[in-house]
A and B are shown apart, each in its own frame.
Chain A
């Protein structure tokens, strides 16, 4: 399975600022995903990021708030813009490998917005 790393692992930010989260994979993958896990909640898909095309956002998530880049097959970034305390969550990236659509997850970025 792919080895996935995320930076930063955690951060504390002030409201109104933005944070960019990086996701690096040790092999080339077509599909990458960004999830949000709010405190005590399950995972919610933010968007699907395919290399060479615009990210596809799920209902309730917009590009202005969560811009995503996917410059190559091993890297992606998610920016959380104009943050508010409600954005305090764990943000996880995942990659899809195999015909069974198995997703493997990074360790997550724990974000606290004050």
Chain B
């Protein structure tokens, strides 16, 4: 069965600092990997996705993520965080025989200090 682990429940960074949110997955085949962001009171917005090819993917709002098969990881990064990035971030995995279903991690809440 597929699963996703986001080890950090809550992360606090200062505005302008770099950010890395961790995501580890378990999946029996080549995964499709996604990062979504949920701002307070909002739905989920897709930040980026990995399907195949280049393991470093660029997303919206200056985010990027790197797929590392050997480590079963898909960590999200941003070089300089803005106060508007404060939100909850979800990593998700799908693909193969999942028939379109996604499995989500528990989420990481990001707080940004001025």
Contact with B along A79-114 (1 / 0, CB 8 A): 000000000000010101001111111111010000
A43 at the B interface (CB under 8 A):
yes
State whether A43 touches B100 (Cβ < 8 A): no
Residues of A within 8 A of B49 (CB): 100, 102
Asked whether A92 lies within 8 Å of B46 as measured between CB atoms, the reply is no
Q: Given A42-B104, A42-B106, A48-B101, are A101 and B44 neighbors across the interface (CB < 8 Å)?
A: no
Q: Known: A42-B106, A42-B107. Is A106-B101 also a contact (CB below 8 A)?
A: no
Mask, A59-84, CB within 8 Å of B = 1, is 00000000000000000000000000
B63 contacts the other chain (Cβ, under 8 Å)?
no
Least distance between B37 CB and chain A CB atoms (Å): 11
Q: Give Cα distance in the complex from A33 to B101, angstroms.
A: 8
B side interface size, CB within 8 A? 23
A102 & B34 in contact (Cβ 8 Å cutoff): yes
Residue A31 is within 8 A (CB to CB) of chain B in the complex? yes
The answer to whether B102 and A45 have CB atoms under 8 Å apart is: yes
Of all chain B residues, which has the CB nearest A110? B41
| Minimum distance in angstroms from A87 CB to a CB of chain B | 19
Check B36 for interface membership: any CB of A closer than 8 A.
yes
Chain B nearest CB from A6 CB (Å) reads 8
Q: Are A42 and B46 in contact, CB atoms less than 8 angstroms apart?
A: no
Taking the complex as formed, is A1 at the interface, i.e. its CB lies under 8 A from any CB of chain B? yes
Q: Which of B42, B45, B51, B100 is within 8 Å of A31, CB to CB?
A: B100
Mask, B76-114, CB within 8 Å of A = 1, is 000000000000001000110011111011110000000
Q: Which residues of B contact A41 (CB under 8 A)?
A: 106
B28 at the interface (CB under 8 A from A): no
Task: Point out residues on A near B: beta carbons under 8 Å.
Answer: 1, 31, 33, 41-43, 45, 48, 92, 94, 96, 99-108, 110
Interface residues of B (CB under 8 A from A): 32, 34, 36, 41-46, 49, 51, 90, 94-95, 98-102, 104-107
Give 18 pairs: A residue, B residue, CB < 8 Å, sorted on A. Answer: A31-B100, A33-B100, A33-B101, A42-B105, A43-B44, A45-B101, A48-B99, A92-B43, A96-B100, A99-B51, A100-B32, A100-B49, A101-B95, A102-B49, A103-B94, A105-B43, A106-B43, A107-B42
